[in-house]
Amino acid sequence: MKTTDHSAPFASGFRQFALLGLIPLSLALLTPAQAEDAQPPVVDPGQPGGAPSDAIVLFAGKDLSQFRGQNQPEPKWKVENGAVESTPPGGIFSKEEFADCQLHVEWAAPAVPAGEGQGRGNSGVYLMGRYEIQVLDCYNNKTYPNGQCGAFYGHNPPLVNACRKPGEWQVYDIIFHAPKRLADGKVQPGSYTVLHNGVLIQDHIPVGEASTTAAPLSGYAEKGPLYLQDHGNPVCFRNIWIRRLDAAAK
């Protein structure tokens, strides 16, 4: 039985279309047009635990040249064995100021626990000198939820308690977006996202202009220094690096 090949006219038309060289053009129109020179910048991620090539290294184990003291020009924190130990009186501020950023910091509470609650291995990591991610030895140590280890202090407890034992090195990887003043004068909240030892503990939590609790700096600012707190407990830090995420602040 004779059948009609309905594809024949289409095939013929397709050949003509191809011969005209229109297929590559049509494909180009169907896919997002991106110039090859618009590639993302190349960043060498470095070795595990190391700083990426576009990071600003604030402390690499040798000196505190990137910091100033809270109550004195030169920071008095003790540098020893590749780490720096919080030492009274007062915390330390980075000399450079930051807004939107990615921060990596490693810390260790004293190996021999002393004190209870907020008195055990207390320090803090404050972006812009204002917004504290709590550092606290919460391994078998209870305290109020929004003041425990990894809390956005005074505002939001961590999703989980991912603490290692006292004396062991722990890691915070923090993504911070600063509050921003808009054209109408209102301030758009920023946000905190925090991983503690690789575990998500703060998931895009709002950071308001006034979300400062027991902070050395307050009030609106476009950027500010990183601040590490001295709370009277000898907490150690190492491998501190930061990447700016806001092109305008570079």
From the list 29-37, 55-63, 83-91, 228-236, the region that binds Mg ion by CB under 5 A is: 228-236
Task: Between 11 and 214, name the residue whose CB sits nearer to Mg ion.
Answer: 214
From the list 44-52, 75-83, 120-128, 218-226, the region that binds Mg ion by CB under 5 A is: 120-128
Q: Does 158 bind Mg ion (CB under 5 A)?
A: no
- Which stretches within the chain are classed as H helix? 7-19, 22-30
Q: Annotate 29-54 with DSSP letters as a single string.
A: HHS----GGGPPPP----STTS--TT
Q: How many binding residues for Mg ion (CB under 5 A)?
A: 4
From the list 43-51, 95-103, 118-126, 166-174, the region that binds Mg ion by CB under 5 A is: 118-126
Q: Is 74 exposed, middle or buried (0-12, 13-18, 19+ CB in 10 A)?
A: exposed
Output the smallest distance, CB 56 to Mg ion, in A: 24
Output the smallest distance, CB 115 to Mg ion, in A: 13
Taking CB under 5 A as the criterion, the residue among 121, 124, 179, 224 binding Mg ion is 124
Q: Which residues of 203-229 are buried (b: 16+ CB within 10 A; e: fewer)?
A: eebebebebbeebbeeeebebbbbbbb
Q: How far apart are CA 86 and CA 124, in angstroms?
A: 10
Instruction: Name the residues that contact Mg ion, by CB under 5 A.
Output: 122, 124, 134, 229
